[in-house]
Amino acid sequence: MTISVIIPTYNEEQNIVRLIESLKRHGDDESREIIVVDGGSSDDTARLAAAAGAVVVKTAVRQRSVQMNLGAEKAGGDVFYFVHADVVVEPDYMTDIFQSLSRGYESGCYRYRFNSNNLSLRINAFFTRFPFLWCRGGDQTLFVTKELFRNLGGFQEHYLIMEDYDIIERIKRKSSFRIMPREIVVSARKYDTNSYLRVQFANFLVFSLYFWGASQHRLTSLYKKLLKTDQ
């Protein structure tokens, strides 16, 4: 079995080399490839990723669902592992994924903790051990077998936001999903740029409207109005 790590990026020059070096240091080159799908960065993300040893695929489309599908098209692995550029991966990620597969799971994610000691963020992170959909998210990374991913049709490319929740919903209807009992580290930069309450309100509102059937345009427009983000 081989793993293709797929990283969608946009202006991640501050994080991409650290992530690639960590993936390479803790993984097995013969069983793993690293693919960065860059969505038109205006900084040095693509050049730095290539210099660090990743396969770089460029697209003019800055949209995670499209970028991750493109990475999956280029990938040669038996398992796809989707990772955001600003996370710190679990050193035993390959072992964890292979063990999950051997136990019959075709997909899964990690729990997480923030790179912050803020009590509210620690409480948020605590809930990622539970199997509720509102406790999930792309920051937790996602592994899925190539066969299952293709049977699902990949990410839905008309999704501008919430593409991670959508695919996990569809996975759970078809197959097994494991929350691995270890934590990866995710960035608190969204909370640093905005207040904790503002981010929580935005997440709650967008999540609720998503399940009430709001359009992708409305969800994206609302999210951008509520939060400042450099991504």
Average pLDDT over residues 22-51: 94
Average pLDDT over residues 108-132: 93
Least confident of 11-15, 20-24, 74-78, 190-194: 190-194
d(CA 207, CA 139): 16
Query: Quick one: which of 163, 168, 180, 175 has its CA closest to 219?
Result: 163
DSSP, residue by residue, 82-138? E--TT-B--TTHHHHHHHHHHTT-SEEEEEEEESS--HHHHHHHHGGGS--GGG--G
Exposure class string for 95-121: b at 16+ Cβ within 10 A, else e? ebbbebbeeebbbbbbbbbbebeeeeb
Examine the pLDDT at 135 and tell me if it is beyond 90: no
Q: Decide: 210 and 227 in contact? Cβ < 8 Å.
A: no
Predicted TM-score (pTM) of this structure: 0.94
Q: Decide: 38 and 58 in contact? Cβ < 8 Å.
A: yes
| pLDDT for res 156 | 96
Examine the pLDDT at 229 and tell me if it is beyond 80: no
With 0-12 CB in 10 A as exposed, 13-18 as middle and 19+ as buried, what is 173?
Answer: exposed
| pLDDT for res 231 | 53
| pLDDT confidence bin for 30, thresholds 50/70/90 | confident
Q: Please report how the helices 216-226 and 196-211 are oriented relative to each other, as an axis angle in degrees rounded to 10.
A: 170
**Mean pLDDT in the chain?**
94
The pairing of strands 142-145 and 107-114 is antiparallel
| pLDDT confidence bin for 230, thresholds 50/70/90 | low
Examine the pLDDT at 136 and tell me if it is beyond 80: yes
The pair of structure tokens assigned to 190 is 């969204």
The pair of structure tokens assigned to 44 is 């040095």
Q: Decide: 112 and 184 in contact? Cβ < 8 Å.
A: yes
| pLDDT for res 228 | 79
Summarised one tens digit per residue, pLDDT across range 164-209 is 999 999 999 999 999 999 999 999 999 988 989 999 999 999 999 9
d(CA 50, CA 70): 17
Summarised one tens digit per residue, pLDDT across range 89-117 is 999 999 999 999 999 999 999 999 999 99
Q: Please report how the helices 16-26 and 93-102 are oriented relative to each other, as an axis angle in degrees rounded to 10.
A: 60
